[in-house]
Amino acid sequence: MDSGLQDGLNQTGFKGGFVGGYYDAEDNTKFHFPMSFAMTMLSWSVIEYEHKYEAIGEYDHVRDLIKWGTDYLLLTFNSSATKIDKIYIQVYIYVHIVMNSNYVNLIN
């Protein structure tokens, strides 16, 4: 939860940053199409099974999870603009790893 707290803060021509959302798989990339699908399915499950979430004490928690993801998605474009000319759909930090013999041996 404490990773990516500086995402997008130095982006020129964009204010608000990209803090929030969820990483995909084991890397540090936020893919927006899978994330929006996940938020949709999670929201749908809450609509269909609200009483089940309440029964197990997870209703507020699941709503917080959905809010965290959707708030992030709303940061990726200017929703108050009359014309939306830019939307960020993939956010990541590029890290270059130099493969050396020790690293290769760990893989093999």
Residue 53: count other Cβ atoms within 10 Å of its Cβ: 17
Q: Please indicate, yes or no, if residue 10 is contained in any of the structural domains.
A: no
Predicted pLDDT of residue 29 = 78
Q: Please indicate, yes or no, if residue 9 is contained in any of the structural domains.
A: no
SS3 91: strand
Is the CB of residue 79 less than 8 Å from the CB of residue 35? no
Q: Please indicate, yes or no, if residue 80 is contained in any of the structural domains.
A: yes
Predicted pLDDT of residue 53 = 98
Q: Please indicate, yes or no, if residue 97 is contained in any of the structural domains.
A: yes
Is the CB of residue 88 less than 8 Å from the CB of residue 31? no
Specify the number of domains making up the chain: 1
Predicted pLDDT of residue 47 = 98
d(CA 42, CA 83): 29
Residue 39: count other Cβ atoms within 10 Å of its Cβ: 20
Q: Please indicate, yes or no, if residue 72 is contained in any of the structural domains.
A: yes
Residue 54 lies in domain: 33-103
pTM above 0.85, yes or no: no
pLDDT lower than 50: segments of the chain: 103-108
Q: Please indicate, yes or no, if residue 24 is contained in any of the structural domains.
A: no
Q: Please indicate, yes or no, if residue 16 is contained in any of the structural domains.
A: no
